[in-house]
Structure 1
């Protein structure tokens, strides 16, 4: 099964990018914003937990880009934002595990709400959640449902709101639990590297449920790790580099080690488009060329096969893959990667491409739909490019 649409701009990226100017971007932002704001009301998006598919993700997209939206729509979106977060914060779960989930739970909604207004009760709840996640019995370490999500959330707060809102003590207890969990699993299963993890009995590799997301978020707080812990983490990151496939992708899970699948997953959630963020971070921290070479190889693969049939979203869609180019451009200042990001924006808005894509289950949401696309388009604006971050999954620069 072919999961991607042929990229008709291969070999033409520079000329296409030159025509994908600020006027095109703002026109696209206007169209996407209207599409979101005029969407039919859906009970699922209000009952879902977390910014992945619920209205809290849509609200975050509006909040992050409200100044641009004010300009292109000629009106404020503050009422929509306030209505969303007032509802979400009044309807948080009473289930401890659901409270602690990041992209698919209350933790993510709490984090997103801080981009709208800073409330002491929200900060207190986020700090309390660290105790739930630090319990040895807590079952998940990955980003969507587990401990790594807490680290991503705190780092997002520090990058976009305030450095001092969530204490280092909260982060340290999560890091300790994650490190001990990874060492325990690695020893028990004679794993390939010092820190290894599973989710639902599969050893995933990617950003959403796997090693890349766990390592990426732990490295965001390397200053809070003991030297031996940091050594194990870096050894694990270097081992993961060795399983990159020749074409540039990573296997979706350990069962694919040494085997190539015809229907490669080239998504943020599974594959090169998510793993690349880990090695972008590693190159920025170390300037070791092996990390940059891995990023370039992954970037070329995403360019060739990254126009996905699953729609415009961040998780397994065109905008999520486009962010790989945009963050790589921020890392290297190489105009080639910016050109490719701009080409993905044009392809994402192309009616012929859209006609070959399926409609996501949550078509207006942050991680599956147009709210993620809105963030990508806004971050491509000239004044935004140098500070662009993948929503809720930030890098360290």
Structure 2
């Protein structure tokens, strides 16, 4: 078994200077008068952030803050692929009985999303659960290495995460995630149901129940009108499908072509990612330092700024085993207890009856604010959900044997 080694984030001064030179030489497109954000990332915002990134943003200061967290690396060998160096945060709780929790990020996120909830989860609360928290950089992301072989799809991301938990001594554990973190959790539930005992997800993408598959849910769906959240949700989902999903088509079909722009131009990377941070959140007040730390992790990533795109291609049902494609993660997955968190500015906002077609739902919450990056935008909401779901009165209480959270 590979050793677990402490890790410090350390970007070389030469890499930082190279970034500054590219920012200094940046060219910008023009913009239509009063374009706002309708055509994409705002020119004024991107110019302001570029100048700040070049002249004022202090990566080493942010790096020092990151290194206050418990970083580690280990080697994981995925069947049929090379051995990968996997970076992760791992904070163990001092509580007597603690639940191992795997936090899985998505795109365009990173392990950074877990940092606001890491310590509160480990500390726990009186008469509530505490958690050992593991938050990896997925392969091809952040400070983990990436594969050089085709076909590294959701089962391989799931295998990486599962083997990491086993390497840390967690034979049974629970998961939390949105975006690809949600989808990876779901595939882990298919492949490793005796280990993944429950999953809490904040990207809910079920489908309308049918009379044959879910008769009770079908009747509820047919007889009861949608509430205001669900009615608004249809509009939000329609907006994303029509106006916001172009990136997904590109990344699912020709990620390499897009990769040239993102790998060569930090401004291109900034605009590509910042558009999502702006459009996918719920009036979140991003600071310039937050945005640029987020984007810098992509720019300085071990596998490079373009490797992260490939998951879209590999997880497409056109390019992988359909039994483990991203579409399957929206269907019923048995055996793993499921918690659903509904946020109003998620990319798709579905009725509760749709979400309950995804699996054995034991916990569900509706939040008044929050979007796609829930753990970053609304960390208290995620904390409250996990504590309620795994607490003494929660539907997943005792899900991990001998780890009742008391």
Q: TM-score category by the smaller chain?
A: 0.3 to 0.5
Q: Which structure has greater helix proportion?
A: 1
Q: Which structure has greater strand proportion?
A: 2
